[in-house]
């Protein structure tokens, strides 16, 4: 279904009741106003309960740029408004659900400065607001103008004043741990998403979407308010605008995760016409960087139903040395002194077995060799590239990164971006961007409490490459916890067995679930969960359901309901839980829609269930 209603209010006759927009279901309202001094302001409410209290809007000029460049945060009047309504849906190439609803009411406010600069008007700025059932999104936009063609921005002045008694989860870098704090207790800059429980018990998360050609936005606390801060200055030529600033709102935290498709809705549709070469799947890293080790891993991939093997840092020399060349194989002697990796032979062998090969390339080589290595890798038969230690944050490097993903698509290369890059929905536009890190995953061995926070924070932004470990003594969590996380945490490329080799896993029953685990889904439900305590996620792929449930560092009783199953039909549930002795116990039971199973989760434990016909 698709429909648009569009109308305009004449210039200079804007009524105050036109300065608000409400979500299709009527629960969420965005209200705009002009405060004394012409300061633009907004507030957001849910069923008349405050979500964002009256807060300032605007953009600031670059103090190091044109001294006559205007600010865009005061002396405004509203000169025109327009409204439209959209009710449609779309189907992703892959994802967490088959079809994504895209329903919103949009209000565009055209603002004009009441004071001239050097005797002339500085032009217009628009605030485009969309009210979805899932949240509010808004962006600043500069329409084409002969008066103000070049827009210089030094900082953003968007405020988010949360209601009293709010606490939020914050991290100061993408791969960091989360802190639960009151606003006054946070002294650093916070990455997005920032998820908060309000004093009125509503839940909200502040994010950004469509941030492909603009500095990264973070948040800091000033006088008790969250205020946006940009990763450096920027400029653009009208027509030009900022990414979307997003405020998701829910009555329960589980709804935030179920509604994370909102970020995708705020990005452009898929631009890759032929997507037949794009393949989600399970990945394992080859750690020996040798021909014999790689052949052994391909054989392991066949037996365990993995889809890709991955060669990480070191295959083309030491990744930080200027002399290292990502167009030829020359193994770092610290990783394999024999230097006996025949990469092209392994690519051919893997292809014969139906497996793909992914190559890691550090930012140094990407920046210097991007235009030459991508066509070369296509000729070699490489399936994808993992970008390592990339630069992030500034306008230049943000734009560079997304242009690199576009270039990869030209050569049928899938991409995994590692380290501090955070997603804002670009995978909708270029679905060859399979996943990205931007998360404190198993490489850092976080505890179970951290893992119960991630679904309600980092995973609202998009997929995360968590790099799962198994049979790894440094892990702080149980084996069943690890299995369950691979269901809970969405990533079209799931990197499994991160630090391991095939011989690390003699007990194949322990890892049986990962032999069948899909990495993309037709349907996703989040029955229960509280950040920092526990979470249960149920996902369907074709006719099978997978359920993952984990607890924090405390033991916990949990109940898995099978109400998601079609009624009147019996299914087989394969249950993988901790046996209390450091291993996995598998049991099989018959279940139907009316059933539920109770589990006693160990501290730092979990349970994973595969439901099949």
DSSP letters of 418-457?
-TT---SSHHHH-TTEEEE--S--GGG---HHHHHHGGGT
User: 473 lies in a domain?
Assistant: yes
Q: How many helices (H) and strands (E) does the chain have?
A: 10, 37
Taking the C-alpha atoms of residue 97 and residue 91, their distance in angstroms, rounded to an integer, is 9
CA 132 – CA 117 distance, rounded (Å): 37
The predicted-structure confidence for 434-468, as pLDDT tens digits, reads as follows 999 999 999 999 999 999 999 999 999 999 999 99
| % of the chain surpassing 70 pLDDT | 95
Q: Which two tokens stand for residue 172?
A: 């100061």
Number of domains in the chain: 3
* First-to-final CA distance of the chain: 33
DSSP state of 442: G
Residue 65 sits in the same domain as residue 102: yes
How confident is the model at residue 116, as a pLDDT?
66
One domain, residues 373 and 425: yes
Domain boundary among 265, 296, 331: 265
Nearest to 216 by CA among 175, 249, 185, 174: 174
Residue 530 lies inside a defined structural domain of this protein: no
Establish if 215 belongs to a structural domain.
yes
Average pLDDT over all residues of the chain: 95
* pTM, entire model: 0.96
Location of structure tokens 């007990």 = 507
Show the beta-strand stretches assigned E in 363-492: 384-388, 414-417, 433-436
Among 487, 479, 550, CA closest to 516:
487
Q: Which of 155, 65, 68, 152 is nearest to 116 (CA)?
A: 68
Q: Residue 53 is encoded by which pair of tokens?
A: 């209290």
Does the pLDDT of residue 134 top 50, yes or no? yes
> Are the C-beta atoms of residues 129 and 39 closer than 8 Å to each other?
no
| Torsion of the alpha carbons at 247, 252, 255 and 256, rounded to the nearest 10 | 40
Q: Number of C-alpha atoms within 13 angstroms, CB side, residue 300?
A: 26
What is residue 78's three-state secondary structure? strand
> Whose structure tokens read 């030459």?
372
Question: Are 562 and 473 within one domain?
Answer: no
Contact assessment for residue 576 and residue 527, using Cβ atoms and an 8 Å cutoff = no
Predicted local distance difference test score (pLDDT) of residue 70:
86
pLDDT computed for residue 121 by the predictor: 66
58 and 146 together in one domain: yes
Confidence of residue 12 (pLDDT cuts 50, 70, 90): very low
Rg (CA), the chain: 25
Helical segments of 430-473, H only: 448-453
User: Which of residues 265, 298, 318 is at a domain's end?
Assistant: 265
Do 55 and 97 fall within a single domain?
yes
Record the tokens describing residue 598, joined without a space: 């109770």
Q: Tell me 568's DSSP state.
A: T
Q: Which domain holds residue 415?
A: 281-520
Give me the count of residues in the chain. 613
184 lies in a domain?
yes
Same domain, 419 and 489: yes
pLDDT, tens only, 230-267: 999 999 999 999 999 999 999 999 999 999 999 999 99
Same domain, 243 and 300: no
Query: In this structure, are strands 414-417 and 433-436 parallel, antiparallel, or unpaired?
Result: parallel
- Give yes or no: residues 256 and 306 share one domain: no
Alpha helices in 517-557 (DSSP H): none
Beta-sheet strands, E only, within 224-375: 225-230, 234-237, 240-241, 244-250, 281-286, 308-311, 356-362
Which phi-psi region, left, alpha or beta, contains residue 436 (left: φ > 0; alpha: ψ -120 to 50)?
beta
Farthest CA pair distance, the chain: 79
Residue 533 is assigned to a structural domain of this protein:
no
Classify residue 534: in a domain, yes or no.
no
Q: How many CB atoms are located within 10 Å of the residue 141 CB?
A: 17
CATH number (domain holding residue 449): 3.20.20.70
Please check whether residue 452 lies inside any domain of the structure: yes
Hey, is 379 helix, strand or coil?
helix
Q: Are residues 44 and 175 in the same domain?
A: yes
Write b or e for each residue in 500-533: b if 16 or more Cβ atoms lie within 10 A of its Cβ, otherwise e: bbbeebeeeebbbbbeebbbbbbebbbbbbebbb
- Report the CATH number at residue 229: 2.70.98.10
Looking at the fold, whether 118 and 156 belong to one and the same domain comes out as yes
CATH of the domain at 570: 2.60.40.1180
Q: Are residues 464 and 587 in the same domain?
A: no
pLDDT for 65 = 79
Alpha helices in 318-394 (DSSP H): 343-352, 363-380
Task: Dump pLDDT digits (tens) for 378-388.
Answer: 999 999 999 99
Place 330 in a pLDDT band, splitting at 50, 70 and 90.
very high
Strands 100-113 and 234-237: unpaired
pLDDT digits (tens, 9 = 90+) for 399-426: 999 999 999 999 999 999 999 999 999 9
What whole-number distance in Å separates Cα of residue 368 and Cα of residue 346? 26
| Residue 290 within any structural domain of the chain | yes
Which of 232, 265, 298 is the last residue before a domain boundary? 265
pLDDT of residue 368: 97
48 and 137, same domain (yes or no): yes
């Amino acid at each position: 279904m698709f429909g648009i209603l569009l109308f305009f209010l004449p210039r200079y006759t804007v009524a105050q009741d036109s300065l608000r927009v409400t979500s299709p279901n009527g629960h969420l309202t965005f209200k705009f106003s002009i405060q004394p001094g012409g300061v633009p302001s907004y507030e957001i409410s849910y069923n008349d309960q405050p979500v964002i209290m009256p807060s300032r809007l605007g953009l600031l000029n670059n103090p190091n740029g044109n001294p006559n460049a205007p600010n865009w945060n005061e002396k405004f009047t509203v000169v025109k408004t327009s409204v439209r309504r959209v009710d449609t849906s779309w189907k992703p190439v892959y994802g967490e659900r088959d079809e994504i609803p895209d329903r919103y009411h949009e209000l565009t406010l055209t603002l004009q400065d009441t004071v001239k600069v050097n005797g002339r008007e500085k032009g217009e700025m628009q605030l485009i607001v969309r009210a979805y059932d899932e949240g509010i999104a808004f962006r600043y936009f500069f329409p084409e103008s002969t008066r103000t063609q070049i827009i210089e921005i030094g900082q953003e002045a968007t405020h988010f004043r949360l209601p009293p008694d709010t606490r939020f989860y914050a991290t100061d870098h993408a791969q960091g741990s989360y802190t639960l704090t009151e606003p006054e207790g946070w002294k650093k800059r916070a990455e997005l998403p920032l998820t908060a429980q309000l004093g009125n018990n509503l839940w909200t998360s502040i994010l950004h979407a469509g941030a492909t050609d603009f500095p990264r936005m973070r948040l800091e606390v000033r006088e008790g308010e969250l205020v946006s801060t940009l990763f450096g200055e920027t400029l653009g030529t009208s027509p030009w605008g900022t990414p979307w600033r997003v405020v998701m709102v829910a009555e329960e935290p589980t709804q935030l995760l179920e509604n994370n498709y909102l970020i995708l809705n705020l990005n452009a549709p898929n631009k890759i016409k032929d997507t037949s070469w794009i393949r989600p799947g399970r990945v394992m890293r080859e750690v020996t960087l040798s021909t014999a080790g790689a052949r052994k891993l391909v054989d392991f991939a066949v037996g365990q139903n993995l889809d890709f093997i991955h060669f990480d840092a070191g295959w083309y020399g030491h990744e930080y040395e200027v002399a290292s060349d990502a167009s030829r194989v020359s193994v770092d002697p610290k990783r394999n002194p024999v230097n006996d990796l025949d990469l092209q032979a392994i690519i051919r062998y893997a292809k014969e077995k139906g497996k793909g090969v992914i190559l890691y390339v550090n930012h140094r080589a990407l920046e210097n060799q991007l235009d030459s290595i991508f066509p070369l890798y296509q000729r070699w038969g490489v399936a994808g590239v993992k970008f390592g230690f990339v630069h992030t944050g500034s306008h230049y490097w943000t734009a560079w990164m997304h242009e690199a993903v576009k270039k990869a698509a030209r050569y049928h290369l899938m991409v995994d971006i590692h380290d501090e890059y955070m997603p804002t929905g670009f995978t909708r536009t270029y679905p060859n961007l399979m996943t990205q890190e931007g998360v404190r995953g198993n490489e850092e061995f976080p505890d179970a409490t951290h893992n119960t926070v991630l679904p309600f924070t980092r995973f609202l932004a998009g997929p995360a490459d968590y790099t799962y470990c198994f049979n790894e003594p440094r892990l702080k969590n149980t084996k069943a916890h690890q299995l369950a996380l691979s269901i809970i945490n969405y990533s079209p490329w799931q990197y499994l067995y991160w630090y391991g080799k095939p011989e690390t896993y003699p007990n194949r029953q322990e890892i049986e679930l990962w032999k069948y685990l899909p990495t993309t889904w037709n349907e996703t439900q989040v029955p229960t969960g509280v950040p920092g305590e526990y979470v249960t996620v149920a996902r369907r792929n074709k006719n099978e359901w997978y359920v993952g449930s984990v607890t924090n560092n405390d033991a916990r009783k949990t109940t898995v309901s099978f109400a998601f199953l079609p009624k009147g039909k019996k299914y087989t549930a394969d249950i993988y839980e901790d046996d209390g002795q450091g291993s996995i116990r598998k049991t099989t039971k018959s279940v139907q829609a009316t059933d539920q199973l109770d589990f006693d989760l160990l501290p730092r434990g979990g349970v994973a269930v595969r439901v099949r016909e």
